C-alpha cells in the first residue's frame, strides 16, 4: 500500500528565514504517526504545506496520492484538520460552527457528532465568543473527528484541554486507528504520542533528525539507572558507554548505552545493591540527546 504522506527534501523559506530545511517524512496508511519537535521546529509549517495552505519552496510532497497545492480541494474531501490554536466566528454558536465546518467538508455524521459532543462535554448552544480556549479546541476536534475521512491531521490538538478530556481524546484516536484511518499527530506532549503513535518522526530546525518505531529508537539510546548501594560507587566514569554519572553517599544515577548495560550493572553489584530502578529512555531524553549532540558539535 502506498504511504498516506510522503515528503522528501522539503524546503520552505519565508524571506531570509528558512523554516524547513530538507525535511523528510513518511506516514504509512493506517498508522498513527507522531510528529514531534520543539516550538519553531517546523511542524506547523510542514502541516500547512500538507494542507495546501502554504506552497513549498522546493522538495516533493505527496498526500493521499495527490499534490497538496494543486489538488487541495479534492484532497480535503478525504482529510480533516485540527489546528493547535482554534479561532471561531464569535457570533456563531459552537454547534453552528461544527455544522458549518462539517458541511464545508461535504457532510457530517450526525450520530457521531452528537456522541462526540457528549463525550467531550461541550455545550453546543453557547456563542463561540464565550468559549474558553479548551472549548474552542473541542469544537474543532468534534467537527474533525465526526468526519468520515481517511486522514486526520492534528496539530497539537489538545492544547488547552484538561487531563480528563485528554483521556477522551486518546480513546477517540485509538478508535479512529482501529477503524483503519491514518493520523498525523503533531505534538510536544511526549506522553501523548508515546501511547498513541506507531511510529514517530522527530524534527529540529526544519529537518527530521530521527524517524522510526519507538522500539527502534529506544534501541539506539541509553537506559537510565538509579541505584542505592551499601558502599559509595567509584570508577563509573571510567566504564565505556556510561554518561552523566552522578554519585552521592550511597546513591548513584547514570545513563548507559544499550551495549554496555551488562558491564555497568555488573560493576554496580560489587558495591552491594540495595535498590535498583532502571527505565527505558523517555522521548524527552531522546530529544534532549539531540540537543546535546548539537551543542557538542557547535
Partner 1 sequence: MTATSSRPRDGGGPLTGTGAMVRLALRRDRLRLPIWVLVVVALVPRFYYAATSAVVPTPQALADATRLIRASFMRVLAGPFFGAEAVTTQKYFLAAYWVEFLLAAALMNILLVTRHTRAEEQSGRAELVRAAVVGRPAQLTAALVVAAAGNAVLALLAAVAAGAIGFTAGGALLFGASLAAAGMVFAAVAAVTAQLTEHPRGATGLAGAVLFVAWLLRGAGSLQAEQGGPLFWLSPIGWSQQTRVLAGDRWWPLGLSVLLAALLVAAAYALAGRRDLGAALVAARPGTACAPVWLRSPLALALRLRRAAIVSWAAAFLAVGLVLGGMTGAMSVTDLPIFAGADFGRAWLGLMVFTGSLYTGVHAVLSVLRLRAEEVRGLAGPVLAGPTSRRAWFGSSLLASALAVVALLTVYGVALGAGAALSTGDGRLVAEVAWASLRRVPEVLVLLAVPAALLGLAPRAAGAAAWAVLGCSGFVAVLGAYLRLPGPLVNASVLSHLPWHPLEAAAPVATVVLLGLAAALTGLGLYGLRRRDLSTG
Interacting span for partner 1 (CB under 8 A) from 67-75, 235-243, 249-257, 285-293: 67-75
Q: Give the residue with the Cβ less far from partner 1, 29 or 253.
A: 29
Nearest to 49 by CA among 279, 203, 194: 203
Shortest Å, Cβ 110 to partner 1: 17
Contacts of 272 (CB under 8 A, 6+ apart): 229, 230, 231
The CA distance from 154 to 148, in Å, is 15
Q: How far is residue 193 from each of residues 29, 119, 143, 166, 186, measured CA to CA in Å?
A: 17, 21, 22, 12, 8
With contacts defined by CB under 8 A, name the span among 81-89, 195-203, 219-227, 232-240 that binds partner 1.
Answer: 81-89
CA distance 18 to 40: 11
The C-alpha atoms of residue 221 and residue 261 are separated, in whole angstroms, by 11
Interacting span for partner 1 (CB under 8 A) from 73-81, 190-198, 210-218, 286-294: 73-81
First to last CA, the chain: 41
11 binds partner 1 (CB under 8 A): no
The interface region with partner 1, picked from 85-93, 116-124, 165-173, 217-225 by CB under 8 A, is: 85-93
> Would you say 89 or 291 has its CB closer to partner 1?
89
Instruction: Rule CB under 8 A: choose which of 10, 34, 61, 105 binds partner 1.
Output: 105
Q: Which is nearer to partner 1, 15 or 163 (CB)?
A: 15
Q: Which residue lies nearer to partner 1 by CB, 173 or 268?
A: 173
Which residues, in sequence order, are CB contacts of 97 under 8 Å at separation 6+? 88, 89, 128, 139, 143
Which residue lies nearer to partner 1 by CB, 21 or 257? 21
Largest Cα separation within the chain, whole Å, is 71
DSSP letter string, 82-143: E-SS----TTSBHHHHHHHHHHHTT---HHHHHHHHHHTT--TTSBGGG--HHHHHHHHHHH
Binding segment (CB under 8 A) for partner 1, from list 86-94, 117-125, 230-238, 242-250: 86-94
Cell matching residue 15: 524571506
64 binds partner 1 (CB under 8 A): yes
Q: Which of 24, 109, 150, 228 binds partner 1 (CB under 8 A)?
A: 150
With CB under 8 A as the rule, give the number of residues binding partner 1: 45
Residue 269, all three cell numbers = 553489584
Q: Which of 21, 71, 115, 257 binds partner 1 (CB under 8 A)?
A: 71
Answer yes or no whether residue 58 interacts with partner 1 by CB under 8 A.
Answer: no
Rounded (5°) CA angle 226-229-232: 105
Among 77, 112, 127, 207, binds partner 1 (CB under 8 A): 77
- How many residues in the chain? 298
Phi, psi of 238 (to 5 degrees): -85, -10
Smallest gap from residue 280 Cβ to partner 1 (A): 35
CB of 296 to partner 1, least distance (A): 26
Residues that bind partner 1 (CB under 8 A): 14-15, 29, 48, 51-55, 64-67, 71-81, 83, 85-89, 91-92, 96, 100-101, 103-106, 130-132, 140, 150, 153
Amino acid at each position: 500500500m502506498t504511504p498516506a504522506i510522503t515528503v522528501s527534501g522539503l524546503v520552505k523559506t519565508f524571506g531570509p528565514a528558512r523554516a524547513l530545511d530538507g525535511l523528510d517524512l513518511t506516514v504509512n496508511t493506517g498508522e498513527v504517526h507522531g510528529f514531534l519537535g520543539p516550538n519553531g521546529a517546523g511542524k506547523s509549517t510542514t502541516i500547512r504545506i500538507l494542507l495546501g495552505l502554504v506552497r513549498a519552496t522546493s522538495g516533493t510532497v505527496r498526500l493521499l496520492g495527490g499534490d497538496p497545492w494543486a489538488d487541495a480541494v479534492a484532497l480535503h474531501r478525504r482529510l480533516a484538520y485540527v489546528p493547535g490554536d482554534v479561532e471561531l466566528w464569535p457570533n456563531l454558536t459552537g454547534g453552528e460552527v461544527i455544522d458549518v465546518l462539517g458541511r464545508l467538508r461535504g457532510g457530517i455524521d450526525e450520530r457521531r457528532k452528537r456522541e462526540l459532543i457528549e463525550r467531550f462535554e461541550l455545550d453546543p448552544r453557547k456563542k463561540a465568543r464565550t468559549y474558553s480556549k479548551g472549548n474552542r479546541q473541542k469544537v474543532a476536534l468534534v467537527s474533525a473527528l465526526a468526519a468520515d475521512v481517511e486522514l486526520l491531521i492534528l496539530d497539537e490538538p489538545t492544547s488547552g484541554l484538561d487531563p480528563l478530556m485528554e483521556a477522551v481524546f486518546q480513546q477517540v484516536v485509538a478508535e479512529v486507528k482501529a477503524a483503519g484511518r491514518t493520523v498525523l499527530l503533531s505534538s510536544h506532549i511526549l506522553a501523548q504520542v508515546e501511547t498513541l503513535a506507531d511510529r514517530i518522526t522527530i524534527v529540529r530546525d526544519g529537518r527530521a533528525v530521527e524517524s522510526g518505531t519507538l522500539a527502534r529508537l529506544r534501541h539506539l539510546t541509553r537506559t537510565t539507572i538509579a541505584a542505592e548501594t551499601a558502599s559509595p560507587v567509584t570508577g563509573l566514569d571510567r566504564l565505556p558507554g556510561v554518561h552523566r554519572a552522578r554519585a552521592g553517599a550511597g546513591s548513584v544515577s547514570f545513563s548507559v548505552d544499550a551495549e554496555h548495560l551488562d558491564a555497568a550493572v555488573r560493576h554496580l553489584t560489587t558495591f552491594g545493591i540495595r535498590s535498583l530502578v532502571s527505565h527505558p529512555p523517555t522521548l524527552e531524553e531522546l530529544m534532549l540527546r539531540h540537543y546535546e549532540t548539537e551543542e557538542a558539535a557547535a
